Amino acid sequence: MRPKKKWGQNFLRNRGAVDRIVAAVEPEPGELVLEVGPGEGVLTEKLVALGGDFLAWEIDPELAARLRGKYGEAIVNVDAVEAPLPDRPFRAVGNLPYNVGTPILRRIIADPHCRRAVFMLQKEVADRLVAKPGDEAYGYLTLFVQLYAKARTLLTLDPGSFFPPPKVRSAVVVLDPDRKPFASEELNALISASFRMRRKKLLNNLVSYRNATREDVLTAMRTASIDDNARAEEMSLEEFERLRAAAAW
């Protein structure tokens, strides 16, 4: 079938990569395997062969209809950005469209029923998931993922592994649940505000956040033992939590 640009379709053709992705899912008995964006079904065939419960979400009605002819009601024509997540333990896997990969990943790894996610992403995005403080790729997405999971890179792929070839390299990342006890919307919002202007100092990014004055932010930073000149890209998740706990705003 002709790939559709509006859904960012780039179909995987590398059979060796397919085998490694499927092997990384490792479902436990009783867990559901959820495939996000099966496309032509290159992963689907091998995921179904694992023998457990299986569900696939495909936004393209034409592709969904074709796969449903082979796999039945396990194929659902739905948008993965909005579809209700399973209310039972599940493992997610898929070649995520680059244009919506991040919101899909975020909602899945934050779900308490997720037991693992194995996702193909644009390599630039994958690098953010595994970055360390001070790395160029380190940022808000890095820390969001750290709130809920441990991430590792499984493999990288050149454009020639897909049809049509994308303009960028891709990478597969494995994310295992590691929900921090201090994970909260309040902390998430603080981290987001701290990276508002990446090159600015933390202090300058947080002035006016929740009506905080410069003095308010400095007091919280010093209470949390964070240097006055610190930048968000240098700080660990634990330092952000200390700052959140110290803030009176």
E strands of 89-225, at which residues? 90-95, 114-122, 149-157, 162-163, 170-177
User: How many Cα neighbours within 13 Å face the side chain of 199?
Assistant: 0
pLDDT digits (tens, 9 = 90+) for 27-43: 999 999 999 999 889 99
Same domain, 212 and 165: no
The whole-number pLDDT of residue 120 equals: 95
Same domain, 190 and 78: no
**Number of Cβ atoms within 10 Å of the Cβ of 18:** 18
Tell the burial category of 85 from Cβ atoms under 10 Å away from its Cβ (0-12, 13-18, 19+): middle
Q: Which residues on adjacent β-strands are paired with residue 117?
A: 92, 175
Average pLDDT (159-169) is 89
The whole-number pLDDT of residue 4 equals: 61
pLDDT digits (tens, 9 = 90+) for 107-143: 999 999 999 999 999 999 999 999 999 999 999 999 9
The CATH number of whichever domain residue 207 belongs to comes to: 1.10.8.100
Domain termination residue (choose one: 177, 199, 214): 177
Domain count, the chain: 2
Same domain, 85 and 204: no
Same domain, 31 and 129: yes
Same domain, 168 and 80: yes
User: What are the C-alpha distances in Å from 166 to residues 5, 35, 133, 139, 226?
Assistant: 11, 21, 29, 24, 42
**Number of Cβ atoms within 10 Å of the Cβ of 10:** 22
